[in-house]
Structure 1
Amino acid sequence: MDSDGVVRLWSERAEDTLGLRGPGVLGTSALALLKASRHRTAWRIAPVAGPGPTAWGIWPDGREGLDEAVLDAVFTQSSVGLHVLDRDLRVVRVNTVATGMRGVPEDQLVGRPAAEAYAQFAASLDEGILREVLATGRPRRDVTVRGRPPSDPDRDHVFSTSVFRLADPRGRPIGLVVTAIDVTEHDRAERRLRLLHAVRERVGRSLDLLRTARDLADVTVPEFADWAVVALTDDVLCGEDPTLTVRTVAPVLRCAATAGSDRSEHLPDVGAVLLPGLFGEPIPERPTLLSVPQEDGRASQALVAPFAVRGKLLGAVALHRLPSSDPFEEEDLALAAGVAARTATCLENALLFSREHIVMTTLQGWPRRQPEGTQNAVNVAQRQRSESSGAGTWCDVIALPSARVALVAGRVEQSGVSSVATMSQLRTAVHTLTDLDVEPHELLGRLHLTVRRLAQEQGDISDVEEPAADCAIAVYDPVSGRLDIARAGDCLLAFVRPDGSVEPSPAPVGPLLGVGHPPFPSASYTLEPGSTVCLSSLGTGTPGLSLESLAQALSHPSHHPETMADALERLLRPQDVLLMARTRRLPAEQVVAWELPADPRAVADARRKVERCLDRWETPVDPFTVELVVSELVTNAIRYGAPPITLRLIREPHVLTCEVADAAQTAPHLRHARESDEGGRGLYICASLTDGWGVRYSADGKTLWASIGLGSGDVP
């Protein structure tokens, strides 16, 4: 038709529809023809594109009955649950073939309130959501509802529901339509992925065997099982190589961790021996489902998975679900295999670390008891962080002749077992060098050569770092109060005086042992009794350590060394050690000294003075032995030394030290005289009658000493 509504074209379909032929229709009014037609339907009018003036076309509306057909298909064939509610939230219509509705007669739902109608399988239905959508008109999508539908009453199902408001042509609300889709399998797959992700995130964060087992139990309960038992073999728990294989018939396991929900039965104690019956006999080589009888006659389900690496059995996990819970599925076995493989790898790493830690702590030898011979010079407190990984750090309190004591702290700039091995070698070298009675800076120089030799030994090993070390040494003399210090690297070295004044860096930072070049900075101080010397492997440039924090921890000289060590411990890194030493002075009545002339006749006078002194001290020692040793030492100084000559006796609770000092630098040597020799037996006699002898040098000469142990008072 044209724009005036006059018919210009009449198709065969129009003839069939209206029963009119073309020649009698053309030129008439199209609307009049439609009104006169017996065909009752809806018509659609729209412009028709083409040459010439605007033309209009008329077609029957094909949507007639479409809405009814769609609704009929949705309510009879769709697998999407469809529930229609009125304004009072009562069920008006449902598609009974929908998932979640199977097995529920329609007459049990229609006309009942939604909360009541769906209570038997949708325990988590929230009526507040329905009222909110009805009031606001805003739809709610993807609302999760959990329940057990009548078609599968033994397993929990998860439904994804959406709620939409229904309105009449005037926009007034007349009810709701609720759609429900069963997403149980999708939800279970997501839960399995979340569990696997949680295992990868949480299990293995610590290199501790028991912590790894406990993390696994905590991750799996209650998300995957009602209760869990993780067990390990005794070899693994002892840090040894596993000896059992997955084919072992009846391995004995020990409980390492448990976890359970409120419904779980009594769990074994951690550390208890578990017979293989809990995990099956024998333990399965791959994740397996077992049936476990309960006291009430029902059977719970257990999923047992072994921890195995290269055929060696490390342990196993038993995951249990109660009869009231969903049973395990085949997909859960695959998940358990991944979890067990991940856990086995983490356990192997923890086992390797445990073995390395055992080796390192054995070499570290911590804690160390203060030597008895040093207690008259210093009162010591030592600290090492409890979470220490056994790094190559050490501190030592070494007894020296003449009541002196050496304080040492250091660290090796390596990691792992190699650092502790190097530390043990350096510690042995320090003990050996202190026996030579060399000054601290000279000791560091010789220790530097030792580190260089160790570096040359490791130079051909590409995966081992060349050793380098920091070391701080302090030698304290309780007779004079003199403190000699030297430092290689930036190990912490400080002291506080009785008046509270703190010396945070009494010696400059020196070069690293094995890397830098001597000499090493040194200094000497005279300390009052009650001063506190602090040494630590903690570097002075460590983040968080400042002069203010150090001074605050040390500026309490009245505190016990243990209390001061507690204040400084919080500044330590996990691998650091700390040594606090409160200085003492020997009482004046325990030290006596005489100036002797360089005259052979002074030897007899020295013997008489020593005899009177021993009587006054009531020393439990053979006087003749002491007099003979003093005689030989004084004779040696007169014959080979230079004046002034000084004889000094130092009495400690368990040892008597005889010293003879002179101004000569000549070194005495122990000789083995022949039968015909008239001399050369002095030092041999001293070495035979004493517990030890030696010589130390200073800028003013040398001091020859010999120590004699004091017995219980029975003098031969």
Structure 2
Amino acid sequence: MERQSTYTATATIDERGILTGWSDGARRLLGYDSPAVIGRPAAGLLATDPAAARRTLAGQGRWHGTVPLRHQDGRRLELNVLAHRRTSGTGRTDWLVVSAVTDRPQPPRGDPLEEWTFLQSPFPLAVFGPDLRLLRANRRLEDALALPEAAMRGLRLAHIVPGTASEEAERSMRAALESGRPQEARGRLGPDLARTLALTPLKDADGRVRAVCLSLPPPDPGAAGPRRPAGEADGRAATTADQVLAAQELGKATVPRLADAMTVDLLDPPRSGPGGPPPGQVVLRRAALRADPGGGPARGTCVGEAVVCPAGSPPARCLATARPLLYDTAEPGIAEWAALDPCAGWLRASGTRFLLAVPLLTGDGPLGVALFGRTPGREPFGPQDVRLAEEFAAKAAACVEQARAEAPPRAPAPLPHGLPPHPPPGQAALEIATRWLPAATGTGPGGDWFDVIPLSGARVALVVGDVVGHGIRVSATVGRLRTAVRTLADVDLPPDELLTHLDDLVLRLAADEGSADPAAESAGGIGTTCLYAVYDPVSRRCGAARAGHPPPAVVTPDGTVRFLDVPAGPPLGMGGPPFETVETELPEGSLLALCTNGPSGARDHALGRALERVPEEPASSLDSVCDRVLAELLGHRPEDDTALLLARTRALHGDRVACWELDNEPTVVSRVRRHVDEQLSAWDLEEATFTTELIASELVTNALRYGRPPIRLRLLRPGTGLICEVYDAGGSTPHMRRARIFDEGGRGLLLVAQLAERWGTRHERTGKTVWAEQSLTAL
């Protein structure tokens, strides 16, 4: 077969981490034939810790970066990949992973004026070759898709933005290439690519079509939606050089005096219109990259290219906290980021061991972040180094701010797309979308917060709360409350009991602050509201309790909108009647809406109107529903922040749940092993049989010895996990203990803890359930 200069390797991976698709390009790249990998764990192809990859992908809808893979012949390959998380109409999820392989050189750049025109155009532009693979993308397209050009180069549009709209655009591209005439395609490729796309054939001097340009023309003057001010692009282009110059001067001043290598990444000026990166992600623009000539080379994302920082990465954390942060790249979490993120390529190239992240701050907020790296031959950064870096960063921030001040005024910044900064964790019971609407008054960080907490038995807890006031003290109180709720949720307390403990905490916080400084404004949280709800996908029941917080709204699949009748209870820290948990059964596909600062009066009607439209577009993604609800609330924007959490319920049907009533006699343990073996065979999980038999037999043995009948065994298979639960009517809590050499017992729970990914005890109104969860992706 003749060798092509470019091809694409694709693979699909189901929610259990099992390979379900393998292209010919993947075979050529890694050497494995399809029958050798289909049906096997994808983790077997990794040349790194599979747990690190799972943590990197957890909660994300799309990811790009460098992944170390193992070729069939044993070679280690570092590949740039783009991974999309897809959800089918039935709610099943999988990952589409693509990688472009090419020995084709990058297209030559034109003269400077043409290059500036392409890169700084106020409209998204991309150039695709005759094989429909991306050759160039300008900054506006990078912003619109929240992907750098390097992550898209060599891929077809259908792999960059999977969907029918991309397929239609590719057909129009092919028509433009074959006919030599401009074409049009309509479709939504992204938040900023939702209008008619212009596809223009690019011809050489002899009139031969060499490529096709995809562009998004400006909207008609009468079209709905925001427009970029006429002078914005010119002003932005005029100040870019000054911003880059200020960033590069920071590099000259600090390398090698302070660091062996450094980068400066700046936030783009605010754009009008919807869109933006996924929750928790930060999109920056690299303005400087410098390394000590005596050290490693300054390789990585080039100056001017987009830098997409995932939630939890050092740049994202630094911007979120607005303070300097120190890291050791040998730490597992930082090492994973440095190894997998293409934007951290300069760390690998320079051999950086110690990392210092410093925000570029002005009176209006952060402008970007400077990262300084030291190699192992130098001392770690100390307090004096941090102060020096802050001084240099402050001067650079002042220069960048001055350059931006010369640009014409722009539209207000788009609304933040997510609180808390970390994306919701992976779980199988609910589809989650979140939004946060800042106060119209701009009075600083408020006290609105929410959380999504996976619980045992595939259940999920949803939390929303509101601490009165604004400012740093309120933010600190929110952090304490959120930590307390997560700790109490780990104990699996019912909603009313959890709020009772939270109420005690708020009273203690208020008392401590009052005794420390009676004249200070209290941030203890008196008057704080909170709603805590738990959804069980097996019973499809939702239990909720609230402390002075608005009740959750529910949209059932038949289009009925109602607010759950949950007794209000007093706000936290106020005392009064006890909290009460109310349970209700929700049909599969119901939509739960948890919101702060409402609903009442006009806000109630706005939220109701927005939710009533949900059944009109059943195929809409939950993110688009969230945007629509938020748009309705914009007309009734309060003087306080607003948090919105939407959750669409899923159900674990009988084919994913197995339950047995057990006799209270020792011989039942052998029958338990047989039940487990038969059920896992029916689920095609034979590889997990041995481990699960051990876990189930140990838990049942404990229930027989120390519990009381009735005894029940239940197996759950939610998503990529396998859960074994044993219920008995006893109230005692099992504990691990150290068994002596000649003891006959005492090792059961220790064995369970070693075999399971996590385990625990859930107390119920009567009796308890001991559970253990395994990860199927590790098999």
TM tier relative to shorter chain: 0.3 to 0.5
TM-score w.r.t. the length of structure 1 is 0.48
Q: Which has the higher contact order (CA 8 A, sep 6+)?
A: 2
Greater CA radius of gyration, 1 or 2? Answer: 1
TM-score w.r.t. the length of structure 2 is 0.44
